[in-house]
Copies of this chain bind each other. A is one copy, B any other.
Amino acid sequence: MSALFVALIHYPVVDRNGRIVTSAITSLDIHDLARAARTYGASALFVVHPMADQREFGARVIDHWKDGNGRRFDTRRREALELVHLVENLDAALATAAAIAGARPLIVHTSARTEGGVSYAQLRARMERDDGPPMMLLIGTGFGMAPAMLERADIVLAPILGPDAYNHLSVRAAAGIILDRLRGH
């Protein structure tokens, strides 16, 4: 089975007008995505942000639960946060993932705006093969990843859809749903 990694991308992303921006790390995104990553057996969650002070903020969020009073409050939350790595860019995430999995992951792009794209069933089947390569799911914040991230993708995953064309999910729900479609039981 493929080792699975998740990368939460804060740059380059777009705002509601399509301008390329850097979004802020939020405590809740780290917690929610770490819990989903742990639930679905991901090997690591990379929180990707180019600014050192933002990564330091992320580290404080995690340390509170690993070492502070939060440790006693909820051991399951700590277990999830142990999966989190704060890194400067995608290349740093890929290098760390390669060290963990023993091979460089394929980059899997996710977006609500993709037209076409590989189906979840196809990617799931490929990941369940004995020799499945490691996979790194890119999850965008803000109003989604900038086009430059799409150009780096090895696999472009289809959007999540419900009964009609509206699919404006939060990053917290979307990440959970993508992981569930690929690894849920």
How far does the Cβ of A39 sit from chain B's closest Cβ, in whole Å?
5
Interface size on A, residues (CB 8 A): 38
Partner of A170, one of B35, B41, B169, B183: B35
- A79 within 8 Å of B by Cβ? yes
How far does the Cβ of A122 sit from chain B's closest Cβ, in whole Å?
15
Contact B175 A39 (CB under 8 A): no
Bitwise, A1-30 to B at CB < 8 A (1) or not (0) is: 000000000000000100000000000100
- A48 within 8 Å of B by Cβ? no
Contact B73 A16 (CB under 8 A): yes
Show the binding face of A for B, using Cβ within 8 Å: 16, 28, 31-32, 35-36, 38-41, 73-74, 76-77, 79-80, 160-164, 166-170, 172-177, 179-181, 183-185
